[in-house]
A and B are shown apart, each in its own frame.
Chain A
């Protein structure tokens, strides 16, 4: 898995436009959005809330289709949902009526892609890998938030997807669990080196995880700037004190702050004076 997975999963967006249709009008979500999710790397997408990050995930997963433009994976256009592109959702999306074990073997069972013995040994291996040994017979609602997220990881990993799509997966977890999950997820990625796209609105999380970091603008959304996060791997939380980390964080904060102000002006939550004041401060700083 470690070798083969890195060969696949390159996703390219070419001038993608998506719309949300309302009654007699429509809102443009993505506008001329072009980007690349490189294979074998962990790409993180950060952006202000409500900017269409989930839309990007849905496009790659095949739940939505672009209005204009193309989304290609390994050179081929994406057609509908498929086990090659799996999503770990915000909040829990395990099947609550199945036990932890049944959730993990769900996909191989319905697809008939593995023999029973293979499936069982692989599921047990993955459950042990994500630290859920002994919880096979528990229902998802009996697990803690962190454990649910790990079960979901195992459920996706058993398919050996070409790309893992993480849609703010650690949102809603408490701070401690969240940090643990980030470190855990990073270890898992560093071990497999498969293609990952991770979406978040938290800058610290983004820098900590990313090989490549894409900052999104506010609606209509495109990629504002791409960063190569050249912090050494394997990483741990001591990294947060390194100068490079702080440099990156400052730069990204600046970009996002600008977008956040634009967003609040656009939605009428702040008056234009605030934006003007912000511009003045920036001028003064230069």
Chain B
């Protein structure tokens, strides 16, 4: 067996040395390297994708009669410089605060419920039918009820974002746990794990990839909810920014708001992804 392992490392060594031999040894200046990077076909195609999009935007705005109120790309670009930075960032943080409070509340409440449903058969029977009944209702349909639940508008908005995060978290936790290969807990039981160790050392690590997939969906839905809620609540935030500028017909600013939500939403998603990757290091090993 040792020989087997030996040959494996041997072949990899020869492979490495072979590629080292075959690689053309040409020294390039850093400028040349940069030039090669910029004019690489993949980069050119990516840039042209953006350019084509902007061109289409311009053409549509110019030549389709109903679209003449929509600002062309250059107006949106110029609008960025007219932003009052302090106000703008305040709105961003307001939305971000609501999104993150809702998201973490969703995890705080949804994750234990998901674990309970996935882990205990009795709790599954007790909780899951109710969850299953409420889940198909789109979160936005809860807006009127949220007004009944909370007097404080801030609480209403956070409730709605929480609600958006809750079900993806519960669902993917349950799915992750019930999808665990039966041999893993069985092996664990043979190795003498206690009930708590079975959960924390076997079930949860095995389910973690799907749990984090659920959290990624959750953060997306939280952004959806915060924009919808802010548009209705008129209590600041990026959603309200868009809606206000729409009512005063300041369309370039509507676009700026939309773009900001897109960028920050994407950043949130990347953040969740990063944390997830840290917990599931064993998955990306290649």
Q: Name the residue among A96, A133, A159 with the largest chain B CB count within 10 angstroms.
A: A96
* A: interface residue count bin: 35 or more
A40 to B183, CA, bound (A): 26
Q: Name the residue among B5, B188, B193 with the largest chain A CB count within 10 angstroms.
A: B5
A98 to B1, CA, bound (A): 22
Cβ of A110 < 8 Å from any Cβ of B? yes
Chain B residues with CB under 8 A of A141: 282, 285
Is the pair A93, B187 in contact by a Cβ cutoff of 8 Å? yes
Contacts of A83-102 to chain B: CB distance below 8 A: 83, 85-87, 89, 93, 95-98
Is the pair B191, A139 in contact by a Cβ cutoff of 8 Å? no
Q: Decide yes or no: A146 and B208 within 8 Å by CB, A81-B186, A110-B193, A111-B191 being known contacts.
A: no
Chain B residues with CB under 8 A of A62: 190
Cβ of A144 < 8 Å from any Cβ of B? yes
Is the pair A97, B4 in contact by a Cβ cutoff of 8 Å? no
Cβ of A126 < 8 Å from any Cβ of B? no
Q: Decide yes or no: A139 and B280 within 8 Å by CB, A83-B191, A89-B183, A110-B192 being known contacts.
A: no
Least Cβ distance of B12 to chain A in Å?
12
Cβ of B197 < 8 Å from any Cβ of A? yes
A149 to B248, CA, bound (A): 69
Q: Decide yes or no: A93 and B192 within 8 Å by CB, A131-B4, A141-B282 being known contacts.
A: no
State the total of A-B contacts with C-beta under 8 angstroms.
Answer: 78
Q: Which of B187, B189, B197, B280 interacts with A89 by CB under 8 Å?
A: B187
Cβ of B201 < 8 Å from any Cβ of A? yes
A80 to B285, CA, bound (A): 36
Cβ of B194 < 8 Å from any Cβ of A? yes
* B: interface residue count bin: 20 to 34
Chain B residues with CB under 8 A of A133: 2, 5
Cβ of B184 < 8 Å from any Cβ of A? yes
A138 to B194, CA, bound (A): 26
A284 to B68, CA, bound (A): 95
A184 to B2, CA, bound (A): 11
Chain A residues with CB under 8 A of B206: 95-97
A134 to B8, CA, bound (A): 12
Cβ of A107 < 8 Å from any Cβ of B? yes
A86 to B191, CA, bound (A): 8
Q: Name the residue among B8, B183, B206, B285 with the largest chain A CB count within 10 angstroms.
A: B183
A93 to B189, CA, bound (A): 13
Contacts of B172-211 to chain A: CB distance below 8 A: 181, 183-184, 186-194, 197, 201-202, 205-206, 208
Chain B residues with CB under 8 A of A177: 4
Cβ of A82 < 8 Å from any Cβ of B? yes
Chain A residues with CB under 8 A of B193: 110
A130 to B4, CA, bound (A): 11
Chain B residues with CB under 8 A of A253: none
Chain A residues with CB under 8 A of B1: 130-131, 146, 150, 180, 184
Q: Name the residue among A82, A95, A134, A140 with the largest chain B CB count within 10 angstroms.
A: A95
Q: Which of A81, A134, A142 interacts with B285 by CB under 8 Å?
A: A142
Report the nearest B residue to A184, measured CB to CB: B1
Q: Which of B181, B183, B201, B205 interacts with A110 by CB under 8 Å?
A: B201
Cross-chain pairs A/B with CB under 8 angstroms, 7 sampled: A85-B190, A93-B183, A110-B197, A111-B191, A133-B2, A140-B282, A141-B285
Query: Which residues of A does B touch, CB under 8 Å?
Result: 61-63, 80-83, 85-87, 89, 93, 95-98, 106-107, 110-111, 113, 130-135, 139-142, 144, 146-147, 150, 159, 177, 180, 184
Query: Which residues of B does A touch, CB under 8 Å?
Result: 1-2, 4-5, 8, 181, 183-184, 186-194, 197, 201-202, 205-206, 208, 280, 282, 285
